Structure 1
């Protein structure tokens, strides 16, 4: 499968979400949250007080959430456009937070964090925390091998997380209180390094892979169904478009963590027709459930 470039000139695109008819993404290194239309025209929707990592999703009432990763804060945009603190995660970890997904019941999952990294490492073992609709914050998983993309199945019963450094997608059952249990390998990816992920209506997962420069669709158990190759690292993917069957990929040239903040603008948004529409969460249909 070959993808076409619809937008270029980004720094590092991350956390793509389909919302209100456009692809929203975080342009790491700039603090910008950008919305891109079907013709590739981009608009800066918000500038946040974070450089990287930061990521986005929406509450069921349509308010935008932004994880300010290094600051350890989950921010919420109010109706007047101001950002306020929705949850303070600093007591749970001083390491950077990375990804967010909000399920259909309004439970918010944020990953990253965890113990301090070992010497020479950029990230320690990751955790997943839950922020429930009543504001309660608690850790629900630990020892995630470089916690990356997350997605929740349409029935709100399973959370899937990309463990980049373990070359696998890991699943948890979601309890009635939002807690996670029955941790298991959803797919062993061999030499795959999963980053951002999304689910489709056939129950398959698309994962982006930076070192292998592609985006791969797999079913539970690890069978590879489709592969989209790129000429640079693929950081995350999202299904969207009018029928939910356009796969958007954010890609950029990878030169190491120490070069993530620079004047280089090698970031692209790619698109390709997918065999099945998006499903589950992050939601492709809109920001509202």
Structure 2
């Protein structure tokens, strides 16, 4: 019987296997490692017996202990719903002013309103409520129909120009193409633009003041600061809903665009409307 080959460089016995002149050293794994590996196998077998582990065609083995992470999650959700119920009941029973004055209820309402906003309002007003062309920014203090709690609640509950709600906000700017000639329209646009910017033609803007007073002041006010009860925007600030510039103003005066907002009470319920009211009011622009 021949002696096992010993590698000259390492002094380690080889296994006797050889490939293209390369021999395999006989370096077995440490016993502690082997026993650890055996223990992990035993642990996995025990785990598969005790817990759901082996996939079947439509389900999995239940496990001896009957543990279920889904059941734990459902239990947590049920507990959360129970704890939320008392807050929802309080919000349903209180006015928005009472909710806003209660720190605990206000915090809960803001959280609920933020969630409802992301699902229902963000498609138009943006995820950060900053709005966009034709959609108001809810973070500033420029309100078409008023920015106090009652006004915001009414707007959310009944919408704007929403035909199926009899209490919806309803006002429309007339098409002044049928009232003013092109020169008067340009004069009025120059005057409005000049309220917050330097008009290209100051003379045109000066002539437009009287046109504005005769035709626009009834809704927007003689100071052009708007009237919230009519939904007439403030034209004396630097916030523009549709677009900026004299050309945009001319288009709006000539053939105005009118936005529509749904009435949310029927879809979301009175409690969620209150939560949305508190959330929108908390954004920083509420009065």
TM range (shorter): under 0.3
**When the two structures are superposed, what TM-score results if normalisation uses the length of structure 1?**
0.19
**When the two structures are superposed, what TM-score results if normalisation uses the length of structure 2?**
0.19
Give the structure with higher Rg (CA).
2
Task: Give the helix-richer structure, 1 or 2.
Answer: 2
